[in-house]
């Protein structure tokens, strides 16, 4: 059977943007920034996105386009008889870890959407407010699992129907919708009393935060997670691209779009966090408490909430399919499984892994695998701060050192000119060195 391909370059761009823009930009960005002092973190994150993220994104997509295979097969094809393919396992492994907690959080988003549809969340519950409502929900056993299962089912269905059509069209409508809603929400959030404090938290770096070694790992992890880098999601998407589509513009477009969503959601969240006296370091629940509080303050807030959680769930879905696609593509080739069989089996395993994540907020909250971290935070830590950067490092080394310079430049459609050489220098030297230094400093 011939390998599938994107209809158009725009289709690829939308799918890649759909992969990049997701819970990472809104949910993860705000609590990681909140935990790491705000402004200094944002700055570091931006530096990493532009210096490491976008150049690497280009490299990652190019490996897939050149090899036309999955994350492990691509290395086997381009570097036969070498151990390079082993690095592809970082990607498959991180896909399992990430989607199992991603589906839990996306399930929370669906639950909120449902309660905006019924109107229950138009006003904060009299007792305990949104904080109480959220806490009461995630600590239960069955309810969150139901929503997570529903989300996983939707993801699987899209992946086995061969992706494209549905998600391409959906993204075309919902990405702009999400952007518009975020802009409107930013307006409301900025008009709240006490919003200035939030803005200075986000934009006035407290330089002393930079003396904390962990901020570097966190910012790097966030850049990787948010750009969908290092797992092979973009590599796999790139493998459905024909050789005549030029890559550099697409890579920059994806990177800029993703950054835009992160910065805007910071402008939505932090003014509200301070206006409503919420602790910016309250972790993963952060947006699920602040956002409904903002909606409640706005005219037609109930409708805005409904649209917002609809768009957020969709953004999560378009990211989740790209994660599921990584092991699905691998197992289809390895075991000659059909797309349906591979996606159902992989998705089901991920869902079962996710059960522990969900229970980690309730009856299993005493389980803290890494330090003080609960199950979600621990899995996220291993995947985002360790596996994704390692996957990215191996991609950079592969393109920078295994390829000849001419092959590398050709793979990304650059000529041997200034831009080409800057990119090559970044990928070959600066990027690996930075990733390695950040790594070592975080273990010391």
Q: Tell me which of 13, 14, 20, 42 binds ligand PHE, using CB under 6 A.
A: 20
**Choices 20-28, 271-279, 328-336, 368-376; region in contact with ligand PHE by CB under 6 A:** 20-28
**Choices 160-168, 203-211, 221-229, 243-251; region in contact with ligand PHE by CB under 6 A:** 221-229
Min dist. Cβ of residue 89 to ligand PHE (A): 15
Q: List the structure tokens of 411.
A: 């793979």
Q: List the structure tokens of 148.
A: 């997570």
Min dist. Cβ of residue 55 to ligand PHE (A): 17
- Indicate the residue among 101 and 276 with the shorter CB distance to ligand PHE: 101
Q: Who contacts 195 (Cβ-Cβ below 8 Å, separation ≥6)?
A: 189, 271, 272, 274, 275
- Indicate the residue among 24 and 280 with the shorter CB distance to ligand PHE: 24
Tell me the per-residue interface mask from 308 to 327 with ligand PHE, x by CB under 6 A, - otherwise. -----------x--xx----
> DSSP readout, 373-400?
B-HHHHHHIIIIIIIHHHHHHHHHHIII
Rounded to whole angstroms, the Cα distance separating 158 from 324 reads 10
Rounded to whole angstroms, the Cα distance separating 443 from 435 reads 13
Q: List the structure tokens of 443.
A: 């273990």
- Indicate the residue among 224 and 403 with the shorter CB distance to ligand PHE: 224
> DSSP readout, 179-198?
HHHHHHHHHHHHHSTTHHHH
Q: Tell me which of 16, 23, 289, 324 binds ligand PHE, using CB under 6 A.
A: 23
Rounded to whole angstroms, the Cα distance separating 324 from 392 reads 18
Does residue 382 touch ligand PHE according to CB under 6 A? no
Q: Is 173 left (phi over 0), alpha (psi -120 to 50) or beta?
A: alpha
Interactions with ligand PHE, residue window 222-241 (CB under 6 A): 225-226, 228, 231, 233
Return the residue matching tokens 């960005």: 29
Q: List the structure tokens of 118.
A: 């019924």
Count Cβ atoms below 10 Å from residue 230 Cβ, excluding itself.
Answer: 32
Min dist. Cβ of residue 329 to ligand PHE (A): 13
Min dist. Cβ of residue 290 to ligand PHE (A): 18
- Indicate the residue among 229 and 275 with the shorter CB distance to ligand PHE: 229
Does residue 171 touch ligand PHE according to CB under 6 A? no
Q: Is 257 exposed, middle or buried (0-12, 13-18, 19+ CB in 10 A)?
A: middle
Q: Tell me which of 22, 255, 285, 389 binds ligand PHE, using CB under 6 A.
A: 22
Tell me the per-residue interface mask from 91 to 110 with ligand PHE, x by CB under 6 A, - otherwise. -------x------------
Q: List the structure tokens of 291.
A: 């956002």
Tell me the per-residue interface mask from 115 to 154 with ligand PHE, x by CB under 6 A, - otherwise. ----------------------------------------
**Choices 22-30, 210-218, 337-345, 434-442; region in contact with ligand PHE by CB under 6 A:** 22-30
Binding residues for ligand PHE, total number by CB under 6 A: 15
Does residue 69 touch ligand PHE according to CB under 6 A? no
- Asked if residues 427 and 400 have their Cβ atoms less than 8 Å apart, the reply is yes
> DSSP readout, 325-374?
HHHHHHHHHHH---HHHHHHHHHHHHHHHHHHHHHTTTTTTT--SBTTB-
- Indicate the residue among 103 and 273 with the shorter CB distance to ligand PHE: 103
Length of the chain, in residues = 444
Min dist. Cβ of residue 349 to ligand PHE (A): 17
Element (H or E) spanning 63, and its range? helix 54-67
Interactions with ligand PHE, residue window 326-365 (CB under 6 A): none
Q: Which residue is nearest to ligand PHE (CB)?
A: 24
Count Cβ atoms below 10 Å from residue 297 Cβ, excluding itself.
Answer: 14
- Indicate the residue among 60 and 413 with the shorter CB distance to ligand PHE: 60
Binding site for ligand PHE (CB under 6 A): 19-20, 22-25, 98, 225-226, 228, 231, 233, 319, 322-323
């Amino acid at each position: 059977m011939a390998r599938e391909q994107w209809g158009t370059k725009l289709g690829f761009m939308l799918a890649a943007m759909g992969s990049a823009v997701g819970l990472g930009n809104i949910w993860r960005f705000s609590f990681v920034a909140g935990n790491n002092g705000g402004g200094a973190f944002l700055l570091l994150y931006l530096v990493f996105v532009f210096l490491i993220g976008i150049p690497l994104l280009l490299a990652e997509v190019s490996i897939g386009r050149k090899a036309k295979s999955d994350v492990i097969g691509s290395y086997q094809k381009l570097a036969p008889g070498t151990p390079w393919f082993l690095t592809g396992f970082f990607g498959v492994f991180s896909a399992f870890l990430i989607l199992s907690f991603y589906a839990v959080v996306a399930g929370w988003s669906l639950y909120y959407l449902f309660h905006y549809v019924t109107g229950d969340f138009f006003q904060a519950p009299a007792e305990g407010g949104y904080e109480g409502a959220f806490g009461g929900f995630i600590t239960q056993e069955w309810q969150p699992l139901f929503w997570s299962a529903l989300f996983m089912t939707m993801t699987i269905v899209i992946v086995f129907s061969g992706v494209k059509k549905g998600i391409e069209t959906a993204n075309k409508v919902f990405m702009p919708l999400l952007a518009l809603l975020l802009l409107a929400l930013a307006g409301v959030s900025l008009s709240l009393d006490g919003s200035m404090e939030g803005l200075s938290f986000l934009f006035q770096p407290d330089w002393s935060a930079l003396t904390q070694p962990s901020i570097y790992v966190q910012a790097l992890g966030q850049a990787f997670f948010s750009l969908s880098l290092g797992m092979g999601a973009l590599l796999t998407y790139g493998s459905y691209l024909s050789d005549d589509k030029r890559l550099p513009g697409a890579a920059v477009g994806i990177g800029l779009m993703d950054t835009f969503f992160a910065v805007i959601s910071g402008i939505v969240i932090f003014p509200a966090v301070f206006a409503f006296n919420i602790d910016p370091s309250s972790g993963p629940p952060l947006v699920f408490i602040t956002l409904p509080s903002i909606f409640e303050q706005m005219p037609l807030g109930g409708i805005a909430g409904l649209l917002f959680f609809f768009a957020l769930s969709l953004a999560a879905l378009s990211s989740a399919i790209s994660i599921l696609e990584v092991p699905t593509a691998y197992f289809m080739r390895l075991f000659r499984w059909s797309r349906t069989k591979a996606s159902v089996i992989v998705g089901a395993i991920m869902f079962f892994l996710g059960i522990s994540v969900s229970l980690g907020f309730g009856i299993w909250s005493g389980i803290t695998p890494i330090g003080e971290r609960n199950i979600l935070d621990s899995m996220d830590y291993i995947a985002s701060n360790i596996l994704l950067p390692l996957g990215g490092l191996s991609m950079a080394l592969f393109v920078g050192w295994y390829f000849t310079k001419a092959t590398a430049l050709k793979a990304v459609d650059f000529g041997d000119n200034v831009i080409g050489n800057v990119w090559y220098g970044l990928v070959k030297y600066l990027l690996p060195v930075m990733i390695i230094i950040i790594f070592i400093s975080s273990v010391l």
